[in-house]
């Protein structure tokens, strides 16, 4: 049987197969993933540092989270390198190694090993105190393991600089980069969908009062915003429904090539604002970082194409 001519429509199964392969397996350069690496490492350093003041109080030899407490919270498959840190000195030493791993990931030195070390140490810290885990912590897990899959050190890194100094060939596009970006993108869209579905089950999102409840009971820093929302039903309703609409547009819009530049740009501002409103700015920054996986390649090609769709 002769092959299809260029003018003849291809079977649906073939079109789907080509789209699937293009989404997951087309070799991609590392610049976009490198930007995500830098943002992830910065987020990781902030979250890692947040444990410093209470590290001994929580996990030290006389800490609140004792082995018996962990057993009642942690699943049977949960393991942690911090379980072996049974003295104050060993706990601080392991904690310091985590700082080094995130710093190395930030500047891109020994990037493959830094990504693995940061991911393993971060998961270990969360497994050491599972009752302390916040939404931003879970987002960092996703980001780190996707960086383990990709080759983010091939660009915007000391690794790349050292490679150039040694006059080695520049690293080319890689299937691993495409796979990592696609996994990050699917997670970004999926989390937005989950947020919308969760909101649609709550009456406060339907009656427009959810924005007020998000800021109520918070510290005095949120007092001005809470007062403004309390004084205006219109403002409260607008903010509440704008959040849901934004999440719907983000979840669906990233799958439309012509809209991606606009939607990702919107996400860079929208997610941190939602995080700030809900009292978890780092979660919002993590979502904005996840959204960068959908950014058009032109963003990272040195051309001024902020709203480019392709």
39 and 116 assigned to the same domain: yes
Residue 4 lies inside a defined structural domain of this protein:
no
- 20 in a structural domain: no
48 & 102 share domain: yes
For residue 149 the two structure tokens come to: 């899959």
Q: Do 41 and 160 lie in a common domain?
A: yes
Q: List the domain range (segments joined by +) for residue 193.
A: 176-310
pLDDT in single tens digits along all 310 residues of the chain? 444 555 566 777 778 888 889 899 999 999 999 999 999 999 999 999 999 999 999 998 888 988 778 877 877 777 899 999 989 999 999 999 999 999 999 999 999 999 999 999 999 999 999 889 999 999 999 999 999 999 999 999 999 999 999 998 888 899 999 999 999 999 999 999 999 999 999 899 999 888 878 887 565 555 566 666 666 778 888 889 999 999 999 999 999 999 999 999 999 999 999 998 888 999 999 999 999 999 998 888 754 333 333 3
Asked if residue 195 and residue 99 are part of one domain, the reply reads no
Residues 241 and 260 in one domain: yes
The SS3 call for residue 174 is: strand
pLDDT for 93-121, tens place per residue? 999 999 999 999 999 999 999 999 999 99
Taking the model in full, what pTM does it have?
0.90
Round to whole Å and give the CA distance between 298 and 32. 10
Tell me the C-alpha distance between 182 and 192, whole Å: 15
Q: Do residue 72 and residue 158 come from a single domain?
A: yes
Residue after which a domain boundary falls, among 118, 152, 173: 173
| Residue 234 DSSP code | H
Per the structure, the count of domains in the chain is 2
Q: What gap in Å lies between CA 147 and CA 120, rounded to an integer?
A: 12
d(CA 179, CA 146): 8
Predicted pLDDT of residue 294: 96
Shared domain check, 186 and 162? no
Residue 231: inside a domain: yes
Same domain, 286 and 198: yes
Are 144 and 269 in a shared domain? no
């Amino acid at each position: 049987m002769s092959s299809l001519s260029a003018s003849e429509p291809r079977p649906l199964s073939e079109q789907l197969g080509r789209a699937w392969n293009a989404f997951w397996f087309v070799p991609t350069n590392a610049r976009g993933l490198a930007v995500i690496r830098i943002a992830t490492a910065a987020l990781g350093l902030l979250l890692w540092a947040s444990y410093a003041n209470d590290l001994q109080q929580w996990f030290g030899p006389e800490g609140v989270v004792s082995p018996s407490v962990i057993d009642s919270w942690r699943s049977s498959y949960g393991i942690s390198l911090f379980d072996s840190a049974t003295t104050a000195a060993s706990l601080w030493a392991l904690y310091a190694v985590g700082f080094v791993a995130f710093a190395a990931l930030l500047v891109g030195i020994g990037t493959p090993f830094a990504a693995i070390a940061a991911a393993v140490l971060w998961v270990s810290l969360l497994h050491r105190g599972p009752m302390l885990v916040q939404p931003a912590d879970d987002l960092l897990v996703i980001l780190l393991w996707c960086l383990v899959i990709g080759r983010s050190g091939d660009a915007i890194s000391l690794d790349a600089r050292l490679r150039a100094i040694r006059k080695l060939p520049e690293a080319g596009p890689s299937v691993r980069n495409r796979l990592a970006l696609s996994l990050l993108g699917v997670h970004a869209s999926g989390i937005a969908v989950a947020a919308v579905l969760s909101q649609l089950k709550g009456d406060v999102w339907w009656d427009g009062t959810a924005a007020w409840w998000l800021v109520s009971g918070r510290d005095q820093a949120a007092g001005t915003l809470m007062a403004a929302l309390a004084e205006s039903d219109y403002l409260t309703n607008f903010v509440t429904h704008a959040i849901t609409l934004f999440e719907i547009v983000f979840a669906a819009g990233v799958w439309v090539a012509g809209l991606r530049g606009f939607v990702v740009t919107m996400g860079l501002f929208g997610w941190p604002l939602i995080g700030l409103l809900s009292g978890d700015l780092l979660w919002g920054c993590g979502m904005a970082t996840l959204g960068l996986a959908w950014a058009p390649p032109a963003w990272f090609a040195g051309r001024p194409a902020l709203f480019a769709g392709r």
